[in-house]
Chain A
Amino acid sequence: MASLPPSLERLIGLLSRLPGIGRKSATRIALRLLDSSEAESRELARSIVEACEKTIRCSTCGGLTEEDPCGICTDVRRDRGLICVVERSSDILALERTGRYRGRYHVLGGLLSPLDGVGPENLRIDTLVERARAGELSEIILALNPTAEGEATSLYIAKLVTPAGVRVTRLASGLPVGGDLDLADELTLGTALEERRDL
């Protein structure tokens, strides 16, 4: 195989590091980018840099935002008594897509996993407990994937926040076991949310 120009090779290498993109797709994307105008490619490069620079984590909920606290946390129409706990910020997108949730969120940033050396101190659990103790809150909905780690993390959180007098619920089953919240369709997820039950 004839070797590619080094700069193109470098671009393909970087693109193929992205999730779900193999060498083949990376090459296709790179070749497509070569066809775009200089203005277009600069725009793309600039928006990548800008997104990386401007996006921060909300200090309250841990979600992605440009302003701290984020739009969801400051939205007065949202129910301040309700927090939905998720593993990753992408789970917020999935739940928002259902259009059926009007509370706020809390992103843990992972799940308990002794095998990976992940303990409570590596997750945003202490800030969740703080939010639970601060008053206001009446219910915490645990929306973690029903894997071994998700279930254990749910239980751990329930043990910590129940003494604060907060009701703890979880999504109704119907989500695929070991499945990704992110992949669940809106309808299933919306129903799981509405039919949530006490942990």
Chain B
Amino acid sequence: MWLRALRLENFRNYESLELELAQGLNFFSGPNGSGKTSILEGVSYLAVARSLRGSNDGEVGRWGEGGFGVGGDVVTGERSSTVVLRFSKAAGKEVTVDGEPLAKLSDLVGVLRVAWFCPEDTWITKGQPAARRKLIDLTLCQLDPAYLSSLTGYRRTLRQRNEALLTWTPDEESDRIVEVWTERLVEYGSAVVAKRLEFVPRFSDAVSQYQSFVAAGDTLSLRYRSSVPLGDDATGAEGRSLEQDDVAEKYREALESRSEDERRRGFTLVGPHRDDLDVRLNGRVLRTFGSQGQHRTAAIALKLGEAAVLDSDGQGVVVLLDDILSELDDERAGALIDLVGGHGQALMTSTRPMAGAAAEDAAGFVVEAGKVERQ
């Protein structure tokens, strides 16, 4: 799949933009604040119905306007379909595919897959577990609509259960309410964990193929760390993954053993919202010892792994690279462009003009104050 055309309306600093994109590499250059990242952000709305820059919908619409629109033509094999997402403060988000409104935003998932690279990716290996869970979730959600629905159910149930714990009083009725939310949490949560366990070894294999982004002789591997004790064989990159029923049983036991604690503290202490992904370099957890450069290259390897996994069924993935070439030496930048090109379409931004061998094949665009010119 690839994106043939992108349209933005009252989106960031674009009043109205219509772009024809190339199937291979698209290179956007322009000064700071000209609107490069916003183009990639627009594409992210077409894929996952939200900003992968991490902004709220309300911040994305052009200042002074009540909302925004993003549209695109997605080509899959012989077919082309038109996706339109509109947001207004009054009506919220609405998506149509070929003019047909989607009953729910999650139905959009899979129409267009994207992998987003940006300089802040170094926080994946350096920062809090949330950044690493987000990496797993964003990838799995795009691959598997059932995962998205379990995750959505889990998050909502978690909030409900936390509220039930917070307002818990020592009586039968209160216990029954907590119990009901606990059972539901286990149901959704075990589905989430089982899928993550199955996914991480695959992801780890994909990531380890990008050795050129890790110093020679080093190995990068991933391991899922569950807050629910699952036993030794469940979390290793080589180990078998557990079935959902086994996870559910262990999750139930873990919640059971913390139940007094949870009632006293008023929130949920175990579950996939507290899990982590260990990123190891030569067997050591990178977070604790990685150098600046090691974090950066590991992040790129992770992202390349993500793109490879998203493309593993040959459907293609649109790779969005925001301003990361400037952080790499020429050799690595060239290697990255080649690798990304292997997945089909890429949109790349830089404050510098296009250069190097890859530039010859790329479609070049110059961005200037909310206007884009094809070179």
Residues of chain A at the chain B interface (Cβ within 8 Å): 22, 112-115, 119-120, 147-149, 151-152, 155-156, 159, 176-179, 183
Decide: A152 and B160 in contact? CB cutoff 8 A: yes
CA distance A119 to B90 in the complex (A): 30
Contact of B164 among A114, A176, A178, A179 (CB under 8 A): A114
- When each residue 187-221 of chain B gets 1 if its CB lies under 8 Å from chain A and 0 otherwise, what string results? 11000000000000000000000000000000000
CA distance A62 to B149 in the complex (A): 32
Contact of A114 among B160, B179, B188 (CB under 8 A): B160
Decide: A120 and B104 in contact? CB cutoff 8 A: no
**Main SS class of interface, B:** helix
Decide: B180 and A152 in contact? CB cutoff 8 A: yes
With contact pairs A115-B160, A148-B156, A148-B160 given, residues A156 and B103 touching in the complex (Cβ less than 8 Å)? no
Interface check B167, CB cutoff 8 A:
yes
Residues of chain B at the chain A interface (Cβ within 8 Å): 90, 103-104, 106, 149, 152-153, 156-157, 159-161, 163-164, 167, 173, 176-177, 179-181, 183-184, 187-188
CA distance A149 to B179 in the complex (A): 14
Contacts of A112 in B (CB 8 A): 177, 180
11 more A-B contacts (CB under 8 A) besides A112-B177, A148-B156, A156-B180?
A: A147-B156, A149-B156, A149-B160, A155-B183, A155-B184, A156-B176, A159-B179, A176-B104, A177-B149, A177-B153, A178-B104
With contact pairs A112-B180, A178-B104, A179-B103 given, residues A148 and B157 touching in the complex (Cβ less than 8 Å)? yes
Contacts of B176 in A (CB 8 A): 156, 159
CA distance A119 to B153 in the complex (A): 19
CB-based nearest B residue for A22: B90
CA distance A21 to B164 in the complex (A): 35
Contact of A120 among B106, B163, B173, B183 (CB under 8 A): B173
Chain A nearest Cβ from B114, distance in angstroms: 23
19 A-B residue contacts at CB 8 Å?
A114-B161, A114-B163, A114-B181, A115-B160, A115-B163, A147-B156, A148-B157, A148-B160, A148-B188, A149-B156, A151-B153, A151-B187, A152-B157, A152-B180, A152-B181, A156-B180, A159-B179, A176-B103, A177-B106
CA distance A156 to B149 in the complex (A): 21
Contacts of B164 in A (CB 8 A): 114
Contact of B159 among A22, A115, A147 (CB under 8 A): A115
Contacts of A183 in B (CB 8 A): 103
Chain B nearest Cβ from A128, distance in angstroms: 15
Contacts of A155 in B (CB 8 A): 180, 183-184
Contacts of A149 in B (CB 8 A): 156, 160
CA distance A176 to B145 in the complex (A): 12
